[in-house]
Structure 1
Amino acid sequence: MPRPEGFAYDAYASGTVRITHHGRPATTLHGPRAARFLAEVEGSQHQLVMARWTGNYKRGNERGARDHPRNRR
């Protein structure tokens, strides 16, 4: 699975965190969710954490979906 890239985040004094992907807004977190995100992103895998929080990541089922009966032609 390719590693996600292109994610960045900005933390504001109001407690809001804005996550962007290649410069475009992906999600905005407020309050306790923003605090949990900031605590988690302190690790070494920033890109993976941001991809998971935005929901923008591969789930590993793309190859299997190709063989599903409704997708066969």
Structure 2
Amino acid sequence: MSGAPSGFSYKYRKNGDVVISHHRRVATTLRGDTAAEFMEDMNEASPSDAQDSMARLTGNYRRGNERLAKDHPRNG
């Protein structure tokens, strides 16, 4: 498995939007209440927690069950 998420960054824009990038490529843009909540979370988050949060918001997050799913009978 790849381990903890990494390579995420974010940029706060003057209009209140937050752009989340993964390895310098735009992954998603947050607007409105979602962007405001995200910024509040980032003010209190450790670097590791920030990476986890951005990975979840972009959908680029491993759930840890990939190996189990591979061995399931319907996937054989």
TM-score surpassing 0.5? yes
Percent identity (aligned): 54
CA distance in 2, matches of 1:41, 1:51: 13
Q: 1:66 aligns with which of 64, 70, 73?
A: 70
The ranges of structure 1 where at least 4 consecutive aligned residues each deviate by more than 6 angstroms after the TM superposition are none
Q: Does residue 12 of structure 2 align to residue 11 of structure 1? A: yes
How far, CA to CA, are the matches of 1:41 and 1:49 in structure 2? 9
**Unmatched 5+ stretches in structure 1:** none
- Cα distance in 2, alignment partners of residues 31 and 46 from structure 1: 19
Give structure 2 stretches of 5+ with no counterpart: none
Q: Work out whether residues 41 and 50 of structure 1, in 8 Å CA contact, stay in contact via their aligned partners in 2.
A: no
Matches of 1:3 and 1:67, distance apart in 2: 23
Contact 1:9 1:19 in 2 (8 A): yes
